[in-house]
Amino acid sequence: MIDDNKLMDKIISLSKQRGFIFQSSEIYGGLKSAYDYGPLGVELKRNIMNEWWRSMVHERENVTGLDASIIMHPKVWEASGHLAGFADPLVDCLISKERFRADKAPIPNVGDDINITCADKGQAKDYQKAIEKRFNIELTRNGKILTGLKVIEKNKVGFFKEDTQNPAEMFDFPGYVSPTFGSPFLSEEKQFNLMFRSQIGAVDALGDIANFVNDNKHLGKDEMKQGIEKIVKDSAVYLRPETAQAMFVQFLNCQQTMSMKIPFGIAQMGKSFRNEITTEHYIFRSCEFEQMEMEFFVEPGTQKKWLEYWRDKRLEWWKSFSNYPDHFIYRAHEKDELAHYADACYDIEYKYPWGYDELEGVASRTDYDLKKHAEHSGAKLSYFDQQKEDPETGKMGWRYTPYVIEPAAGATRGLLVYLIDAYHEESVKDAKGNDTTRVVMKLHPRLAPFKVAVLPLIKKDGLPEIARNLVDQFMKAGINARYDEQHAIGKRYRRHDEVGTPYCLTIDGETKEDNCVTIRDRDTMHQERISIDDAVNIVMTRLNQ
Ligand code: ATP
């Protein structure tokens, strides 16, 4: 067993030495939390993403693909809620996870009751429990309203048990409550937005800013900032922080051009960017990363069934490429973890060296996103089912806003998972009989960067020509093969063990006589002679097993 603390160091070191992952801009001292996928990393990442695409799009009639632009209309981010808080302080409600602008929040007066108003009775029950768990007070529930809190000073809230005059508990609060629920349980204010901002257009905003500053020297700091923000905002664009929003925005185009019938999905994979406050665990959380996301549109009321379906399918998929399938689990979100628009969510988690942590989220996002985009854009983002009865009118034909299940996975985080899963050390004897450590990356053959290495035992006597010819045959059959003649044969085997090449084929002196090569299996190190004419078929069959 490798010590968990050392495992990450070993993987980072191997990744660099063998060309999986390099620090970005290394020769300039590196850019914090940015990584480049090297000659082998790019192959591994593409193989993971291609497998995802195959299982999510090609193997399903009811899922279609999309490749949207990274820079989208700024209104997309306004509708999705991502844009709030660029110039303004942002606050999160600790109970509902609602995020809002502090400067627009309702301010209760001293002496006012604070009633937390939920969407329905069920949510009130959940929030009541969440508040009890977190703050150790039991609010009274009247239908969908939670009572018992009162403002006792500008920045203090008291909890009063029923029919009592003195507060049983007191809490600091920022003087305002969350706009939707009226909750005083809030995070610190953050002058922060996860999105990277840039400018679009020929005119540089700097000139306008300079003029504005010059003409308004009398303004105070806040007014000056607001004025500059307004100028910047006019031409601002954002790098997408997730691939998902494009699937909502292109819902109608995809549905109509492909005549998709509900339930159906739109899948996309590609780069996302987040100005993460904490970047950690190598490529686990970085500012630029790749995602593989699908929005699956379903009939309202069927979302629970589909959420469970996708949770199971996605978990199965991750396990299918792993040496340790039991290192993958799913975890249901507690009610107090859920975003306010989600009615349920699962995280697929992996046993990283630092413990179980997220790999993919599978969320039931209700009809929130389509409704928000419909509201902001004016487009009718709904679906008409001729075969269904409208539950309200009882007449045939039902127009509704679909509910959405979203399996959202990190491709680069998945790559880290499979590097951890693959890393093995074994004690073996070297040629002189001494104990040595063999490092072998037991990557699933479909994910391995090279599928086969062809190695001439020596660099003469026509062996390189035979080897090169065999590599050509593999390439023509669509199998990524590598010709390798550098160093002694034992060293070459080790090198290919370390990059996870499932098979090595060695051409030796006898090949010219018996037309056979030695095939060596990466995991068992077993060697056997096979006919060179059968080599491509044999490797292909074993890879597909
Ligand atoms: P986390 O809680 O780890 O920050 P999240 O819940 O914000 O993730 P989502 O917005 O649901 O993540 O994104 C879906 C997936 O994208 C995550 O499960 C993760 O695999 C990946 N992901 C998200 N943020 C990053 C990041 N900064 N770096 C690498 N992968 C990421």
In the structure, what pLDDT confidence band is assigned to residue 185 with cuts at 50, 70 and 90? very high
Atom in ligand 1 nearest the alpha carbon of residue 348: 18
In the structure, what pLDDT confidence band is assigned to residue 387 with cuts at 50, 70 and 90? very high
The pLDDT of residue 87: 56
Q: How far is the CA of 73 from the centre of ligand 1 (A)?
A: 23
Can you tell me the mean pLDDT for 7-20? 96
The pLDDT of residue 193: 78
As a whole number, the mean pLDDT across the chain is 93
Closest Cα to atom 3, ligand 1: which residue? 358
Mutate to test the pocket of ligand 1, among 413, 415, 417 (most ligand atoms within 8 A of CB): 413
* Ligand 1 pocket member 272 (CB < 6 A): no
Can you tell me the mean pLDDT for 522-534? 96
* Ligand 1 pocket member 291 (CB < 6 A): yes
CA dist 473 → 454, 483, 484, 493 (Å) = 11, 12, 15, 21
Element (H, E) at 285: none
Can you tell me the mean pLDDT for 214-223? 91
> Would you state the structure tokens that stand for residue 56, as one six-digit string?
């999510």
* Ligand 1 pocket member 412 (CB < 6 A): yes
Closest Cα to atom 20, ligand 1: which residue? 410
Q: How far is the CA of 410 from the centre of ligand 1 (A)?
A: 6
Query: What is the DSSP secondary structure assignment for residue 114, as one 8-state letter?
Result: E
* Ligand 1 pocket member 359 (CB < 6 A): yes
Task: Give the whole-angstrom CA distance, residue 345 versus residue 366.
Answer: 11
Element (H, E) at 140: strand 140-142
On the 0-12 / 13-18 / 19+ scale of CB atoms within 10 A, 217 is exposed
Atom in ligand 1 nearest the alpha carbon of residue 414: 20
The pLDDT of residue 385: 96
The residues pairing with 435 across neighbouring beta strands, listed in sequence order, are 429
Mutate to test the pocket of ligand 1, among 291, 311, 346, 357 (most ligand atoms within 8 A of CB): 291
* Ligand 1 pocket member 285 (CB < 6 A): yes
Query: What is the DSSP secondary structure assignment for residue 55, as one 8-state letter?
Result: I
Closest Cα to atom 18, ligand 1: which residue? 360
Can you tell me the mean pLDDT for 527-537? 96
* Ligand 1 pocket member 367 (CB < 6 A): no
By C-alpha distance, which of 300, 304, 408 is closest to 364?
A: 304
Task: Give the whole-angstrom CA distance, residue 373 versus residue 380.
Answer: 9
Q: Which residue in the block uniquely carries the two structure tokens 């000073």?
A: 153
Q: What is the dihedral of CA 128, 132, 138, 141, to 10 degrees?
A: 0
The pLDDT of residue 404: 98
pLDDT exceeds 60 at position 532: yes
Check residues 202 and 11 and name the one with the higher pLDDT: 11
The pLDDT of residue 359: 98
- Whether residue 224 contacts residue 217, with contact meaning beta carbons closer than 8 Å, is answered with no
On the 0-12 / 13-18 / 19+ scale of CB atoms within 10 A, 31 is middle
Atom in ligand 1 nearest the alpha carbon of residue 410: 20
Write the pLDDT tens digit of every residue in 424-439: 999 988 878 889 999 9
* Ligand 1 pocket member 347 (CB < 6 A): no
The pLDDT of residue 201: 81
The residues pairing with 269 across neighbouring beta strands, listed in sequence order, are 292
What is the separation of C-alpha 489 from the centre of its chain, rounded to a whole number of angstroms?
41
The pLDDT of residue 216: 94
* Ligand 1 pocket member 408 (CB < 6 A): yes
Closest Cα to atom 25, ligand 1: which residue? 285
Count, residues in the chain? 545
Write the pLDDT tens digit of every residue in 54-87: 999 999 999 999 999 999 999 999 999 888 755 5
pLDDT exceeds 80 at position 545: no
The pLDDT of residue 233: 84
* Ligand 1 pocket member 289 (CB < 6 A): yes
* Ligand 1 pocket member 361 (CB < 6 A): yes
Mutate to test the pocket of ligand 1, among 24, 35, 286, 289 (most ligand atoms within 8 A of CB): 289
What is the separation of C-alpha 348 from the centre of its chain, rounded to a whole number of angstroms?
11
Task: Give the whole-angstrom CA distance, residue 130 versus residue 41.
Answer: 43
Can you tell me the mean pLDDT for 439-450? 97
pLDDT exceeds 60 at position 90: yes
Element (H, E) at 374: helix 368-377
pLDDT exceeds 60 at position 521: yes
Check residues 180 and 441 and name the one with the higher pLDDT: 441
pLDDT exceeds 90 at position 101: no
Helix (H, G, I), strand (E, B) or coil at 308: helix
Can you tell me the mean pLDDT for 145-151? 95
> Would you state the structure tokens that stand for residue 155, as one six-digit string?
């920045």
Say how many C-beta atoms besides its own lie within 10 A of residue 478's C-beta: 8
- Whether residue 239 contacts residue 287, with contact meaning beta carbons closer than 8 Å, is answered with no
The pLDDT of residue 222: 81
Atom in ligand 1 nearest the alpha carbon of residue 287: 27
- Whether residue 415 contacts residue 283, with contact meaning beta carbons closer than 8 Å, is answered with yes
Q: How far is the CA of 495 from the centre of ligand 1 (A)?
A: 33
* Ligand 1 pocket member 365 (CB < 6 A): no
Task: Give the whole-angstrom CA distance, residue 79 versus residue 368.
Answer: 10
In the structure, what pLDDT confidence band is assigned to residue 1 with cuts at 50, 70 and 90? low
The pLDDT of residue 189: 84
In the structure, what pLDDT confidence band is assigned to residue 99 with cuts at 50, 70 and 90? confident
Angle, CA 301 vertex, CA 296 and CA 304 arms, to 5°:
65
Write the pLDDT tens digit of every residue in 456-504: 999 988 999 999 999 999 999 999 999 999 999 999 999 999 999 999 9
Q: How far is the CA of 125 from the centre of ligand 1 (A)?
A: 29
pTM of full prediction above 0.95: no
- Whether residue 292 contacts residue 56, with contact meaning beta carbons closer than 8 Å, is answered with yes
Task: Give the whole-angstrom CA distance, residue 473 versus residue 452.
Answer: 12
Angle, CA 63 vertex, CA 477 and CA 416 arms, to 5°:
65
Can you tell me the mean pLDDT for 91-99? 88
Closest Cα to atom 16, ligand 1: which residue? 410
CA dist 302 → 63, 125, 307, 310, 401 (Å) = 17, 23, 9, 13, 13
The pLDDT of residue 86: 59
Atom in ligand 1 nearest the alpha carbon of residue 360: 18
pLDDT exceeds 90 at position 89: no
pLDDT exceeds 70 at position 88: no
Say how many C-beta atoms besides its own lie within 10 A of residue 437's C-beta: 8
Write the pLDDT tens digit of every residue in 110-128: 999 999 999 899 999 999 9
Q: How far is the CA of 267 from the centre of ligand 1 (A)?
A: 17
| Residue 395, C-beta contacts closer than 8 angstroms, at least 6 positions apart | 389
| Residue 256, C-beta contacts closer than 8 angstroms, at least 6 positions apart | none
Closest Cα to atom 4, ligand 1: which residue? 285
DSSP of 58-94: IT-TTEEE----SB--HHHHHHHT-STTSSS-EEEBT
Say how many C-beta atoms besides its own lie within 10 A of residue 326's C-beta: 8
* Ligand 1 pocket member 242 (CB < 6 A): yes
* Ligand 1 pocket member 123 (CB < 6 A): no
Helix (H, G, I), strand (E, B) or coil at 36: strand
Can you tell me the mean pLDDT for 257-265? 97
The pLDDT of residue 278: 67
Q: How far is the CA of 406 from the centre of ligand 1 (A)?
A: 13
Say how many C-beta atoms besides its own lie within 10 A of residue 525's C-beta: 14
- Whether residue 99 contacts residue 81, with contact meaning beta carbons closer than 8 Å, is answered with yes
Closest Cα to atom 7, ligand 1: which residue? 361
Can you tell me the mean pLDDT for 528-539? 96
In the structure, what pLDDT confidence band is assigned to residue 410 with cuts at 50, 70 and 90? very high
The pLDDT of residue 340: 81
Write the pLDDT tens digit of every residue in 305-323: 999 999 999 999 999 999 9
Helix (H, G, I), strand (E, B) or coil at 284: coil
* Ligand 1 pocket member 410 (CB < 6 A): yes
In the structure, what pLDDT confidence band is assigned to residue 203 with cuts at 50, 70 and 90? confident
* Ligand 1 pocket member 496 (CB < 6 A): no
